[in-house]
Every structure is written in structure tokens, then in C-alpha cells.
Structure 1
Amino acid sequence: MDLVYGTPFWPSTFNPNSNYPSLQTDISCDCLIIGGGMGGALTSELLTERGVNTVVIDKRKIAHGSSSANTGLLQYTNDKTLTSCINTFGEKTGVRFYELCREAMQKLTQIADRLDTDPWFIPRTSLCFASSIDDVAMLEEEYQTLKHYGFEAELWNSDKISTHFPFSKPAALYTLGDAEVNPYRFVHALFESASKRGARIYGQTEMIHCEFDDDGVLCHTSGGKIRASKVIFAAGYETQAIKKDQGAYLQTTYAIATKPLPDLKEWYEHSLIWETARPYLYMRTTPDGRIIAGGLDEETPREDQREIRARHRGDTLLEEVRSYFPLEGLEVDYAWGAVFGNTNDGLPFIGPHPEYPHSYFLEGYGGNGTVYSMFAASILADAVTGVENGDMELFSLTRTSKPSPV
């Protein structure tokens, strides 16, 4: 599956020192992670921290799948509001989901601070504005819900928005505790850290098939066999080619990185910006003065249309950015498209599957994939090391695709 097309920005920012070889022999381990992206990187970091003998494989070079196209906005809020989560899943589950996202943001911050390679992780605030006057009541209700359950947020009116930004909207939620990151650097920094603790990491090593028996899993790869007590499938959106989830679906999203701009002082606090419309526009800045913008989600185009589609959608995104920040010298430098996954109910899939013994799946699907991958890594690290974790059942792979309030 081609996950990325066009030219993503992040690989141009980092030339990794580590060159992960392909597997050339038969090996064994406690836990095999299939996937060398964000989910696999975070999980390998936590497993090696606990002394688990860990192996990671990816059929591509490390971090060259969806992680290279990730726009790096990290937030505790979600595409599905807390109010909507409570209405759908009930109070306990809805609030716990948001608590897990907040805890994941705190954990991501702690991990980023201790890495040897700088992942360009910077704490940020976020502004989610009402795309139309019709969305104001929803934002007001969400503000009250967040406040009631102890989540940091402010409700801004149009005057306050126009005071801090060169545009105005009817209302906005202003949230604290978020961050931006360079996902490509972050994945490499995480694997660098895990490898120093003994993780064996192999790029360009494709899983062919797995055999399951009483003792664990025998994974046949393009370069050798791997005997593992446990396997974590962290293959991202390509997991749907391994095991189709009834409640998951794939789409394509688009993003651009502008050329560096000399002055972004009108961008208050370099906040992460997004909106209530669906699909939504989102924007952020980079340490070297660029603007990254994304959105325009749609069905994945035919293969022969993807490259030109990425360029055309990039031009549309630039005009969207210009409508909010009419800056001189605003030009597209990089434009790309990427496949991404969503779920019908808004929750990721994390945990075991009855048809795959000794195995767990990490599917951080949705608009907050890195945050989901962080708490998924914690849940699965507990599972592998025999620590009970009641949060896993919230994200069951066999849950109904049409949840009801509890």
C-alpha cells in the first residue's frame, strides 16, 4: 500500500545517524513489534525501559510510512468532542478517554525531554474556532463540559480572537497543554533510545506471514524467521491489509509546508489552529518559520491521479492559509498526500484479537494518532509484562461499531 505521495517536508529536516539493517538470519525475542513508525517507536521505548527483549521490523526504511507525513499537532482534545464522547459512550468511558489523552500528552512531554536527539517538541496552546455562527452553541457546550471535568480551556469571543490573530471568528475554544513535534525526528529519536537499551531494529524487512502455537509466534520475514513470545502489530493503516476491522475506514488527507517566512509575529503564541467544520483545516508553525497546513480529507484517488492531486490540493491549502494569514512571500515548498485511518465511533483499536493468539494490535486511528499511540504503548507494555490495565477494554477490536451510552 502506498501510504504517502507528493513530497513530505519532515525527511528533509533530519539525516539520521542510525542505519537500521535488514534482517539476514533467524532470531528470537520476547516481543516482536511489526511497524517502524510512531506506534512501534513509542512501544519499543516503553518495553525496553522495562527490560523486555524487543525486536522491531518494518518493510520500509524506519519512519518512512505515515510518520513521514504526520503534521505533528499533538492535542488532548479530539475530533470527537468530550460532550459527544459522553453522549455516545456514557460519562465514565467518555471522560476516561479524554483523561487518557491528557495523560498521554504529559507522557509525550516527559519522553521528548529525555531523548538525545531533539525531536522539535514544543509545548503549545490550541485554538479551535467556530467555522460558522451555527457552531457557537456547540463550542459553548463543550467549554462547559471540559471545565466541569477539570480540563484546561477558555472560551474566546470574536473580539478576543481578532485581538490576538489577523482574522476573526464567532467564537473559539482555547486549550492548554498541547504541543507540536517533528514526527520524523521523534520516531528516529525514540528508536535511537530503544536501541541503546538493546532493542534490535530492522528496516526493509517485510513480514510474510505468522504461525501461532502454544509457545508464541513464529514470524516469517523477507530476511529470516523471528520466534517471539508476543507480537505487537503496529503497522498503522496497513493493518487493514492484514486484518480488516469492521469499524475502520481509510481516506486521504493533504498537507503543505510553506517556504520559511521572516515574520510570524501575528500568529499568537504559535498556537495550533483548527476548526469545527468537517473536514477541517488545521495549521501550525515550525521552528524555522514555516507554516504547515492540512485538511481537505477525501476518498483516496486513483493511483495515477495521486501526485497531481497532491499538488492541486496543496495550492488550495495555500489559499486557505492566505485567507487567515495574508503574509508576503507565502509559497508552497512541500506538498503531499497521505492515507489515514478513522473509526466509526471515534476511538482507536488497541488490544488482542481472538484470531491472533499471543498478539496485540495498535491502531491509533483518528485525528490524534500520536496521542493515541502513546497511551496504546502504555497499555500494551502493561499487557506484555503482565500488568493489569483496565483501559484496554475501552478500545477492544471486537467492540460494536455502533456503541450505545452506558
Structure 2
Amino acid sequence: MPRKLDLRSGQPVWFAYRAPAVPVEKLARDVTTDVLIVGMGISGAMMAEALTREGHSVVAIDRRGPLKGSTPATTALVQFEIDQPLTKLSRMIGRASAEQAWRRSRLAVVNLRGRIAELGIDCGSTGIQSLYLAGNALGPSQLHDETVARRQAGIGATYLSHEPLAQKFGIDRAAAILSHDNLALDPRKLTAGLLLKSRARKARFYAPVEATTIEDSRDQVVVGSSLGPTITAKHVVLATGFELTDIVPATAHRITSTWAIGTRRQPRNIWPGAAFIWEASEPYLYMRATADGRVICGGEDEDFTNEDLRDSLTADKAARIAEKLGRLFPHLDTGPEFAWAGSFGTTTTGLPYIGALPQHPRLHAVMGYGGNGITFSQIASEIVSSAIGGADDTDKELFAFDR
């Protein structure tokens, strides 16, 4: 069963804002359901909402409780722009597949925004433009090629050279790509809102409960729990973030540590349009503003999973992130009021793994989210709910475990 990871440490900025409480029950007896979801973070919440909307009975469990895993560690730049640039992804998996992955990511952000509006979830959902700055991974000419590639795929993009970038946004960089209709939101409030909507449709939530065994047969899955009772379901969805179970096949998946800071409120100092900003660099810096004028900035990623080492570096990493932020925007007060560390899973292509596990058609998993966790969670909720409902998603092969 899962290797237990301390998925985050420090004090994420989202704890400055109150999220609704999500009631849970104690698992005191055996239960039966259509779908069991393991994990009650953003992925599990989206899955629960999608499945209950389709009329399935749903049980969700979490070994900590709702909203307590890696979800609060996200900086919640909900972008359709995949970590792997379209030009690079095209070389890895072919142009047609790369374009389709980018289009599906674009559609997922549109769908998520519509779903939030339809459900009336109060999570500060706002459409935001984004700037992808030239850096050591992609210079101005490569950014220009990336802009052309996106347009050819039907994805809006505007190339900004140094002068218009400086004039419009006050940023002194050689070039950038300007995109529109990404999404800013509060991830804890969104997760709570989705879980509460699912609960209103009779979803049952049990925590703290850990899944200890999974036994699947042709027509059902029986999951043993740390408390003793079993949960029998027609399907199980593993939405456990980066804590992977033994049954999930080995893939080109690795765990990366990241760090982030949140500044004091300073709405008058925020750059024009409060655009999301991220760099075409290794390691890259990424930043956004909150609705009340804090700046959230993260980066300095490193490939390791030692939580003690990760946490011991937080003070130094926070200072380095604040310094980089200050170089980009000298007028900002970059002193961290919040600093935290987190872990996330990445894949070689930047695309997640989503779908039924090989040889286990009733077990579905989602993993390898990289920097697009919330966007990919939306795609996962669409693909998995279609599969459980007996329909085929046209893009499922792009994300399949045996791709």
C-alpha cells in the first residue's frame, strides 16, 4: 500500500483564508458503493463531483481527512499551458498528439470555470492572462516558434518582444508569450465546495481511514481499511496524489520537491493585470497574485523525496525565491509572510497518467501532475467518469498507463 509521504510542510498561504468545513464520518461497518475514491484532495473532490453528477453512489476515504494532503501546497496557477512546451512535446510524442494534449488542457480550464460557475462555488474563480518569459530553456527565437506552434494548434498566443513587454507589464525580459483565460482560484475553497456538492448528492465521506488492501475481481473490488471494515465497490479511483500504491505500475514518474512563499498584502504593488508569470528556465520561477494583493511565488524545484532534507532547505529556498522575485519586480516587498515546501509527481513528457490500470479494469488511477495539478485533475475527472459510465473519452490514449 502507499509509501506515506509528508506531502508538505511550513504554512501555505491558503491557510490565511477560511475554507468551509467538510463533515466526515467514522467507518464503523462494512459499506458498499458504486465507486470508492481514495483521497479527498482536489483530484478526489473533482472525481466525486463528476461521478455523483452522473448518478453513481460514491464513498470517499482519506488517511488524513479532507483538504489535508498536498492540495494546500499548490500555488493554484490553473493554467492550460503544460509544463512541456508544445514545440518540445511535439518532438517527444508527435505533433498531432502534442497538439491534442494542449487543446484538451485548454478545454479542461474552460470546463472547470464553467463547472464552478454552474455549481456556484465561492472560491475566487477569476480568468487571468499569463506571461511565459524567455529564459535559459527557451530564448526569444524559441518562444517565437512556440507562439507559432500554438496558433497552428488553434490555441491563442501573442508574442511580445522586449519593448512591448516592458511597456505593458513593466518586466525587463527579452521576450514573452501572452496567453488568456487561465484561472486563479483558492484551491482549498474549491476542494471543499466540490466535496460539499457531492455530499449533498449523498456521497459518504470517511476519515481518517487508510486503504490497506485492494482485491479486485471480474465484477467488484474489495478494499480493506485500517479500521477493520471493508468497502466493496464496482470501481475504485486512486486519487492519492503522489503517494502511490504498490498496485500502480512503475512508470516514468518521479517525485520532485518544490518551495513557495506568500508575501504580505500589497495590492498597489501588483503588476498590470495580475497576470500569472512563469519562466522558460530550469529551475523555473512562477508567480501569481491573490485577490487581496499577496504575491505567491514558487520554484527552486529539486528531484528528491527526502522530506527532512526538503524541509531543512525551506528557509534558504524561501530567501532565494524572494530575491529572484525582487529582481523581477524591484518595487515589491518580497519578504515571505508564508513559506512552505511540497512534493509533486512529474513525468518525462509532462503529461499525467490517467485511467484504468493494466490488467485491473476496475481500478483507476491518476498520477504525475507536474505543475498542472488542478488542470489535470479536471481532465482525470472527465476521462475516469466517462470510463466508469461505459463511454470512451476520445483522448484517453494520450494519458493511458500503457501509452
**TM-score range relative to shorter protein:** over 0.9
**Match in the other structure for 2:230:** 225
Q: 2:141 aligns with which of 137, 141, 151?
A: 137
Q: 1:193 aligns with which of 197, 202, 205?
A: 197
**Match in the other structure for 1:402:** none
Partner SS for 2:66: coil
**Match in the other structure for 1:150:** 154
**Match in the other structure for 1:404:** none
Partner SS for 2:251: coil
State yes or no: 1:264 paired with 2:269.
Answer: yes
Moved more, 99-108 or 22-31: 22-31
Deviation at 1:391, TM superposition (A): 1.4
Moved more, 23-32 or 298-307: 298-307
**Match in the other structure for 1:250:** 255
State yes or no: 1:398 paired with 2:395.
Answer: no
User: Match for 1:235: what amino acid?
Assistant: T
CA separation of 1:364 and 1:109: change in aligned 2, threshold 3 A: farther
User: Match for 2:252: what amino acid?
Assistant: G
Please give the residue correspondences for 1:291-306 in structure 2 after superposition, counting only pairs within 5 Å: 291-300=295-304, 302-306=306-310
**Match in the other structure for 1:341:** 345
State yes or no: 1:165 paired with 2:169.
Answer: yes
Deviation at 1:328, TM superposition (A): 5.6
Q: 2:87 aligns with which of 79, 83, 94?
A: 83
Q: Is the 8 A contact 2:257 2:341 kept in 1?
A: yes
User: Match for 1:43: what amino acid?
Assistant: M
Q: Is the 8 A contact 2:137 2:282 kept in 1?
A: no
Partner Cα distance (1:97, 1:226) in 2: 35
Partner SS for 2:243: helix
Partner Cα distance (2:263, 2:240) in 1: 30
**Match in the other structure for 1:203:** 207
Cα deviation code 1:38-93 (max 9, x no counterpart): 11111111111110111111111211111010100011111111122222222221
Deviation at 1:308, TM superposition (A): 3.2
Q: Is the 8 A contact 1:364 1:373 kept in 2?
A: no
User: Match for 1:41: what amino acid?
Assistant: A
Partner SS for 1:169: coil
Cα deviation code 1:317-372 (max 9, x no counterpart): 11111112223643211101111110122211011122434111112522111111
CA separation of 1:53 and 1:328: change in aligned 2, threshold 3 A: closer
Partner Cα distance (2:388, 2:301) in 1: 36
**Match in the other structure for 1:40:** 44
**Match in the other structure for 1:403:** none
User: Match for 1:228: what amino acid?
Assistant: A
Cα deviation code 1:110-146 (max 9, x no counterpart): 1121334411211100000102596111101011111
CA separation of 1:304 and 1:95: change in aligned 2, threshold 3 A: closer
Partner SS for 2:127: strand
Deviation at 1:21, TM superposition (A): 2.6
Q: 1:52 aligns with which of 51, 56, 59?
A: 56
Q: 2:323 aligns with which of 319, 323, 335?
A: 319
Partner Cα distance (2:337, 2:194) in 1: 28
Partner SS for 1:236: coil
Q: Structure 1: any 5+ residue segments left out of the alignment?
A: 400-406
Q: Is the 8 A contact 2:262 2:296 kept in 1?
A: yes
Partner Cα distance (1:67, 1:308) in 2: 21
Deviation at 1:240, TM superposition (A): 5.5
Partner Cα distance (1:49, 1:243) in 2: 27
Deviation at 1:242, TM superposition (A): 5.2
Q: Is the 8 A contact 2:248 2:357 kept in 1?
A: no
Q: 2:123 aligns with which of 109, 119, 123?
A: 119
CA separation of 1:225 and 1:85: change in aligned 2, threshold 3 A: same
Question: What percentage of residue pairs aligned between the two structures are identical?
Answer: 31
State yes or no: 1:362 paired with 2:370.
Answer: no
Partner Cα distance (1:252, 1:319) in 2: 19
Q: Structure 2: any 5+ residue segments left out of the alignment?
A: none
Partner SS for 1:162: helix
Moved more, 53-62 or 356-365: 356-365
Deviation at 1:291, TM superposition (A): 0.2
Partner Cα distance (2:398, 2:171) in 1: 40
User: Match for 1:168: what amino acid?
Assistant: D
Q: 1:2 aligns with which of 3, 6, 10?
A: 6
Give the alignment's TM-score, normalised by structure 1.
0.94
Q: Is the 8 A contact 2:103 2:153 kept in 1?
A: no
Partner Cα distance (2:41, 2:20) in 1: 14
Cα deviation code 1:205-256 (max 9, x no counterpart): 1111111123210111123211100111111110265535231000100001
Q: CA RMSD in A?
A: 1.7
Q: Is the 8 A contact 1:116 1:193 kept in 2?
A: no
User: Match for 1:7: what amino acid?
Assistant: Q
CA separation of 1:348 and 1:312: change in aligned 2, threshold 3 A: same
Partner SS for 1:208: strand
How many residue pairs get aligned? The number is 398
Partner Cα distance (1:164, 1:22) in 2: 54
